[in-house]
A and B are shown apart, each in its own frame.
Chain A
Amino acid sequence: MQLSTWQSLALAAASLVGTSSVQAAQWEHDAALLYYGESDERVQAGSIKYQGKRGADEDDKFTVTAGVDALTGASPLGVAPSYNAQTMTSPSGKTIQIPAGQLPLDDSFKDVRVSGALQWDKGINEQWRHNSGVTFSKEYDYLHTGVNSTLSRNVNNKNTTLSAGVALGYDQVQAIEGKPVPLTLAGSARAGDGTKKNAEVMLGVTQVLSKRAIAQLNYSYSQASGYLNDPYKYISITTPAGVVNENRYEARPDTRKGHTVYAALKYKANDKTTLTSSVRLQQNDWGTDSFTAEQAVRFDLGNERSIEPSVRFYHQKAADFYKPQLLTTEALPHYASADYRLAEFNAYTVGATYRWKGSKNKEWRITGEYYKQKPKAVALTAGQAGLNANPGFEAVMVSLGVKF
């Protein structure tokens, strides 16, 4: 039998982990392309993802996931805007000219990320299952390795599934020219790699509520320690008159602990309408507490086609150490970051997924989404009136997927 490229890939992956006796016909494939583009010539990204799964839901399952992401565009440096033109050197050694009155961006931002994961899901007996896996990703300046394991048990006539899982990660921050010393002046000596350890424990329950409703509830505790800075982000030290006096590398704490509660509900309202709702609450010791709510409604259009509009709302508080800039009149704090992702903001996503059945039983989908990040306004000095250190941004995401 002539194998397709996908089947060959899946079989090769299976062979690597000693499951070469699998039959090609048992594999299910899921592939996707993604385009992500931000406004104002900021980040543009393209991704290709693949997931191959062997085994039906009740059988032992083996899943292989692989992906390549390519990114380019401009990313905010963390430097404060000023009515004076600024010149600085990017971490890669490029001179950046920042025109007066503009948000300082590093347009030399580009990266390629290759990622992969292997998961084994095995039934132990009628009630118990266990799922274990490894994750890996490599970028030019970052390496991630991780392991995870989850044990689950069906109770209550399989109307309830209880699960407990743990994931451990070890990452290396291989910053260009080495990692900077936090809060040293931009251009100061950089050296060596940073390491980051992540641990997460999750307890979950999935509960059948009725013939037409099922719910999921997860609680997780996560902890990260090590080098948690972004080695390419700065924070400005500005005079009260609004002149950027100097830029320093950001400084974040070297530990982070968080608690997350996630709840989701699927409800078949009628023969043609399925609702999916979810909420997520997170509290963590950096102060970036957040709330997320998502709602999707899937309408069956007949002839194996469906349309699924969706909305998402996200709100986070600012990190305790977030400031758009520091002032020359203030003592240097222990921790400080002007990274826009640590600011207080709301984010909104609206989109839709259209699904249809193609030839040879292929299940196609196309998803289009619009994302807007709207930060809470934070005043700068009087000398920077009218300037915004974090104006927010808009993005468009389009992904095309196929299952076969």
Chain B
Amino acid sequence: MLIRIGLPVLLVCSLTACANPAVKPWERGVLAEPAMTFGHDALKDSIADHVYFSKEATSGGRSIAGGGCGCN
């Protein structure tokens, strides 16, 4: 139980510790590109997630509320 709760917390803390607050709004040209945006291809992602959900025992992780299906 400690690992289940502690590991994600540790990962979040580690990730935020890597933050580079020096990245200013006017320096985000690259980060604003579609290819650099999480969820830009939402429909493509949802198609893939649905296929995998129907064929594997794992689902989710990428986002919440993927919808339901009788396929699994």
A158-B25 in contact (CB<8A) = yes
Q: Which of A49, A259, A266, A347 has the most CB of B within 10 A?
A: A266
Choice from A34, A259, A260, A274 contacting B47 with Cβ under 8 Å: A34
- State which size class the interface on B falls in: 35 or more
Q: Give the CA-CA distance A137 to B71 in the complex, in Å.
A: 12
Q: Is the CB of A365 within 8 A of B44?
A: yes
Interface size band for A: 35 or more
How far apart are B47's CB and chain A's nearest CB, in angstroms?
5
Chain B residues with CB under 8 Å of A198's CB are 68
- Among A113, A158, A263, A347, the residue within 8 A (CB) of B69 is A113
Chain B neighbourhood of A166, CB < 8 A: 64
Instruction: With A208-B31, A214-B31 as known contacts, state yes or no: A283 contacts B4, CB within 8 Å.
Output: yes
- A18-26, A88-96, A142-150, A378-386: which lies at the B interface? A142-150
Inter-chain contact A144/B43, CB cutoff 8 Å: no
> Complex formed: what's the CA distance from A133 to B61 in Å?
18
- State the CA gap A36–B51 with chains docked (Å): 8
CA–CA, A159 to B63, complex, Å? 20
**Shortest distance between the CB of B64 and any CB in chain A (Å):** 4
Question: How many pairs of A and B residues are in contact by the CB < 8 Å rule?
Answer: 197
Q: A314-B56, A341-B57 are in contact. Are A208 and B42 (CB under 8 A)?
A: no
Q: Per a CB cutoff under 8 Å, which of B42, B56, B67 touches A341? A: B56
- Say yes or no: B30 contacts A207, CB within 8 Å: no
- Residues in B lying within 8 Å of A, measured CB to CB: 4, 7-8, 11-12, 15-16, 18-21, 23-25, 27-28, 30-31, 33, 35-38, 42-44, 46-47, 50-52, 55-58, 60-65, 67-72
* Chain A positions near chain B (C-beta within 8 angstroms): 30-32, 34, 36, 47, 49, 51, 65, 69, 71, 111, 113, 115, 117, 133, 135-137, 139, 141-142, 144-146, 148, 150, 156-160, 165-167, 169, 171, 173, 198, 200, 202-203, 205-212, 214-220, 222, 230, 259-264, 266, 268, 274, 276, 278, 280, 282-283, 286, 288, 290, 292, 298, 306, 314, 316, 319, 341-342, 347, 353, 365, 367, 371, 373, 395, 397, 399, 401
